[in-house]
A and B are shown apart, each in its own frame.
Chain A
Amino acid sequence: MDALEILFTASFWVAAIRIASPLIFATMGELICERAGVLNLGIEGIMTAGAFAGWFTVYSGGNLWAGLLVAALVGAMFGLLHATLTVPLGLSQHVVGIGVTLLATSLTYYTYRLALPEVTSPPKIEPFQPLPIPGLSSIPVVGEALFTQTPLTYLAFVSVAAVAWILYRTPIGLAVRAAGENPSAVEAQGISVTSIRMGAVVVGSALMAVGGAFLTTSAFNSFFFQMINGRGWICIALVVFGSWRPGKALIGAILFAAFDAYQVRLQQISGGIVPYQVFLMMPYALSILALILVARRATYPKALMIPYQKGER
């Protein structure tokens, strides 16, 4: 099989969509936070905590959906911590975000060691199984790629539509967007900027954790250290790539995932002439390129990273 043929196989696109799913959840989470004016660098740690919480719930006998719910709750807790420090207290969003990432990651590993002191290889669970949609899944390539996935992948796509609807079609979405652009506009209309921003960070963090849980309950079937492996940081870039719009961010996530799926296949056919690290690097290098091309003229939410203090002149 040559390098171009890969692009037309269903299995390649099935893998791409699967790889994209956790990124989609977490990117939507980050997008909500940033649209409200808060950069949430806790994403990497929150995804780690979500991955563990979801998996551990199932491992301890809960069902898969309960695992997802627990992951979301854990994410929301870390979101609440982040929001409390950055919104009412107005601390640096960079420092708090990195702090939350370190805290969430370390707490997760610590909890893992406490809960499973004896294990050498990570125990496995029964993950979400693919759920082909009758009819649609028999469309060649496109249908197979999109409609032979696990329920969680379908949920990822639903989350994009939901976030887009909420941001652009509901009163609360209006308030979120205004809070990220000009918080005094929100205040002047009698809405609390603090509540809107905190709410956005809590909900966004829950989505990030669900993205993490996708890895342990749908893509794989166990939890191991370093499994998030920078995916959170990629999502931060995807939000910029998507110019803070859910639809464009979705395209970015699929694009990145396709690069990632592609490099694995290239490695296999390259026959070891090129060191495999070069292929590993490819999606990231291409992401930077895409950012340069697409996001140079992106307009940031104007109040992003600016704490709002009521009554300040």
Chain B
Amino acid sequence: MSSNPVLRLSRISKRFGPLRANEAISFDLKRGEVIALLGENGAGKTTLMNILFGHYVADEGTVEAFGKPLPPGDPRAALDAGIGMVHQHFTLADNMTVQENIALGTQSLWRMRLDRAAARRRIEQLSADFGLAVEPAATVSTLSVGERQRVEILKALYREARILILDEPTAVLTPAETDALFRTLKLLVAKDLSIIFISHKLHEVMAVSDRVLVLRSGQLVGERETGATDRKELAALMVGQEVKPAEVSPVKLGAPLLALERVSTTPYNGAGLDKVSLTLTAGEITGLAGVAGNGQAVLAALIAGIRRPTGGSISIAGREIADWSPRVALAHGVARIPEDRHAIGSIGDMSVTENVIAERYRSPRFSRMGFLNWKAAGRFAEKLIADYDVKCPSPEARIRLLSGGNMQKLILGRALDPDPAVILASQPTRGLDVGAVAYVHRMLLEARDRGAAILLISEDLEEVLALSDRIIVMSKGRLSTPSSRGERSIRELGELMAGHSGEHSDHAA
């Protein structure tokens, strides 16, 4: 390692309206070094990297690459200086091939002919050198998420990047793909590239980095050599306090609230339901574990009212409901925390206020004689923002400007107010950071203690184990018999998830 930094950020500040995304952030990156940029969602990691890459212009501060100042707001200059960025949301044109995407912008725009052969040779060479297997002639729309990420990395390497920025690279990868990515990173570092690895996952940060920088609320709050710190210390730095696991009080069972009786559906995002019976009882969290695609999606959609059953019955508090729909579900106090907060949980271009009343704008609380009561709606939005500590510029801000964690807090707040009878929580903490996960868990447990019947659907087995009073495993559209807290071991649950046991039941679960 040489002592001259390859990259130096000096006192970078950036505001979005009243929101301070970055405040006077300075750090150096050395040759062959992997820096992890750790922070919760909304801490300002992505903003900082977008400034570095020239997508945004900083309000204050400078960036120097290899000793030369980088002109602000110019991605081309960043590229030319040897900085490559793998964005969290891929910047690939789906209708073009891998080699076209990689070659884009690397040859003079006024050439009469694109040199495909040369591009292809170089891509194949880089693929082989760094373990980035991908077919250059394949159209991007046919690639898996992991392959697309490899294309993004190849794009940077093709341009001879010496500094590689990876923004939450593992968020979209399977564990095996993550391991492959980490192997690639090791090969890159061996070639003296420097890497900035953005993440909020502590174990990954510990695994790949030499040095960790922790961001919180736009400020650099800590810097540690990875070898001289541990996950606990980093977590505390990241959220600003010790993270305590949620405490679980004993169950106080109430009356059965929502019951599915031998319900079947057509397939939807995976398997359909096959004569499933399930009862949700007040004061209890029922955890649904299972490998994605085994019918969880359709079960969630069914309870939310988006899908109708092809057979069987749904009843609320003992009364069978014939015309099940989203509005009927809401009217009976079924609160939904949808799996995809962007596509279903929110309308990105509408304001926070509009989003939080989206499910209930008809209620007398928010409208009178068909006219919306914006004052009440605004008060509600402000109350949620305050109660749930949502970081957002104002209730009028478009909700898509919020980070995932803050958006999820609003959706949670919307669902939990006022006390719903039944809560459908579908992957409620997917993509959230440590602090936000703990917060969501605490809120769900509090709702349970107030007597709500909760169905928790999660692919995260640790989460299911931590929260559920009763665990059911879903496999191929059917449910296992329930087990109470601690009754089945992880291994037993894993076998049920793999569908190895014939222990399915179609009687009351």
**Interface membership of B363, Cβ < 8 A:** no
The answer to the question of A184 belonging to the interface, with a C-beta cut-off of 8 Å to chain B, is yes
Contact yes or no, B96 A181, CB < 8 A:
yes
A310 within 8 Å of B (CB atoms): yes
A178-B96, A185-B91, A311-B56 known; A190 vs B75 contact (CB < 8 Å): yes
Tell me if B262 counts as interface (CB < 8 A to partner A). Answer: no
Taking CB atoms and an 8 Å cut-off, the chain A residues in 259-313 that contact chain B are 299, 301-302, 310-311, 313
Q: Which residues of B contact A184 (CB under 8 A)?
A: 87, 89, 91
Known: A186-B104, A188-B87, A191-B104. A177 touches B96 (CB 8 A): yes
**Known interface pairs A174-B103, A190-B79, A190-B105. Does A299 touch B95 (Cβ–Cβ under 8 Å)?**
yes
Q: Does A175 contact B (CB under 8 A)?
A: yes
A203 to chain B, nearest CB (A): 13
User: Are A190's CB and B110's CB within 8 A?
Assistant: no
Which residues on A sit within 8 Å (CB–CB) of B401? 313
Chain B residue contacts of A302, Cβ below 8 A: 94-95
Q: When chains A and B are docked, how far (Å) is the Cα of A174 from the Cα of B99?
A: 11
A174 & B96 in contact (Cβ 8 Å cutoff): yes
Is B93 at the interface (CB under 8 A from chain A)? Answer: yes
B85's partner among A172, A178, A188 (CB-CB below 8 A) is A188
A29 smallest CB distance to B (angstroms)? 20
A171 on interface, CB distance cutoff 8 Å = yes
Q: Which of A172, A173, A301, A313 contacts B400 (CB 8 A)?
A: A313
Asked if B85 and A170 sit within 8 Å, CB to CB, the answer is: no
Q: Which of A169, A178, A190 contacts B93 (CB 8 A)?
A: A178
Instruction: Compute how far the CA of A170 lies from the CA of B107 in the bound complex, rounded to whole angstroms.
Output: 9
A189 in contact (CB, < 8 A): yes
- CB-defined contacts of B100 to chain A, threshold 8 Å: 174
Nearest CB in chain A: distance from B464 CB, A = 33
Residue of A nearest to B109 (CB): A172
Chain B 259-297 interface mask (CB, 8 Å, partner A; 1/0): 000000000000000000000000000000000000000
> With A and B bound together, what is the CA distance between A169 and B100 in angstroms?
10
Chain B residues, CB < 8 A from A173: 114
A57 within 8 A of B: no
B79 and A301: CB pair below 8 A? no
- At the interface, yes or no: B207 with Cβ under 8 Å from chain A? no
CB distance from B156 to the nearest CB of A (A): 10
Please, what's the 1-or-0 string for A184-211, where 1 marks a CB less than 8 Å from any CB in chain B?
Answer: 1111111100000000000000000000
Q: Which of A169, A170, A171, A185 contacts B101 (CB 8 A)?
A: A185
**B-side binding surface: helix, strand, loop or mixed?**
loop
**Among A169, A178, A301, contact of B104 (Cβ-Cβ < 8 Å):** A178
- Given contacts A188-B85, A189-B104, A189-B155, whether A171 and B91 have CB atoms under 8 Å apart is no
Report the tally of A-B residue pairs with Cβ distances under 8 A.
Answer: 88
Complex interface: chain A residues within 8 A of B430 (CB): none
Which A residues touch B56, using CB under 8 A? 311
Bound-state Cα–Cα, A299 to B400, Å? 26
Q: Are the C-beta atoms of A189 and B112 separated by less than 8 Å?
A: no
| CB of A182 closer than 8 Å to a CB of B | yes
- B114 close to A171 (CB less than 8 A): yes
The answer to whether A177 touches B95, judged by C-beta atoms less than 8 angstroms apart, is: yes
B104 touches A174 (CB 8 A): yes
Tell me if B107 and A310 are in contact (CB < 8 A). no
Interface centre among A169, A189, A311 (most CB of B within 10 A): A189
Residues of B within 8 A of A311 (CB): 50, 55-57, 73
Chain B 61-85 interface 0/1 with A at a Cβ cutoff of 8 Å (1 = within): 0000000000001011011100001
Taking a contact as CB atoms closer than 8 A, the residue among B55, B89, B108, B400 that contacts A171 in the complex is B108
Is B113 in the interface zone, CB < 8 Å from A? Answer: yes
A177–B139 CA distance with the chains assembled, in angstroms: 13
Q: Specify which of A171, A181, A310 lies most central, judged by the most chain B CB atoms within 10 Å of its CB.
A: A171
Smallest Cβ distance from A181 to chain B, in angstroms? Answer: 4
- Contacts A171-B108, A188-B85, A191-B109 given: A182-B92 contact, CB under 8 Å? yes
A170 CA / B73 CA spacing, docked (Å): 27
- B residues near A175, Cβ cutoff 8 Å: 104-105, 109
Chain B hits for A189, CB < 8 A: 75, 79, 91, 104-106, 155
Q: Which residue of B lies closest to A310 (CB)?
A: B55
In the bound complex, how far is the Cα of B430 from the Cα of A145, in angstroms? 64
The 8 Å CB contact of A172, one of B73, B79, B93, B110, is B110
* Closest chain B residue to A192, Cβ basis: B76
Q: How far is the CA of A310 from the CA of B54 in the complex (A)?
A: 10
CA distance A190 to B76 in the complex (A): 4
Contact of B95 among A172, A186, A301, A313 (CB under 8 A): A301
A178 to B105, CA, bound (A): 10
B111 at the interface (CB under 8 A from A): yes
- CA–CA, A185 and B106, complex, Å: 13
CA distance A175 to B104 in the complex (A): 6
Quick check: A181 and B95 within 8 Å, CB to CB? yes
Q: Whole-angstrom distance from the CB of A156 to the nearest CB of chain B?
A: 21
Binary interface encoding of chain A residues 142-172 relative to chain B, with 1 for a CB under 8 A from any of its CBs, else 0? 0000000000000000000000000001111
Question: Which B residues touch A310, using CB under 8 A?
Answer: 55
Measured in the bound complex, the distance between the Cα atoms of B106 and A266 in whole Å is 55
Q: B93 to A185, Cβ gap below 8 A?
A: yes
CB nearest to A188 among chain B residues: B91
Given contacts A178-B104, A182-B92, A189-B105, 8 further A-B contacts (CB under 8 A): A171-B111, A172-B109, A178-B93, A187-B55, A189-B106, A190-B76, A190-B80, A311-B56
**Closest 9 CB pairs between A and B?**
A189-B105, A190-B76, A181-B93, A188-B91, A178-B93, A185-B91, A171-B107, A172-B109, A190-B79
Q: Give the B-binding residues of A (Cβ under 8 A).
A: 169-175, 177-178, 181-182, 184-191, 299, 301-302, 310-311, 313
* 20 residue pairs A–B, Cβ–Cβ below 8 Å: A170-B113, A170-B114, A172-B109, A174-B103, A174-B104, A181-B95, A182-B91, A184-B89, A184-B91, A185-B91, A185-B93, A189-B75, A189-B105, A189-B155, A190-B76, A190-B79, A191-B76, A299-B95, A302-B94, A311-B57
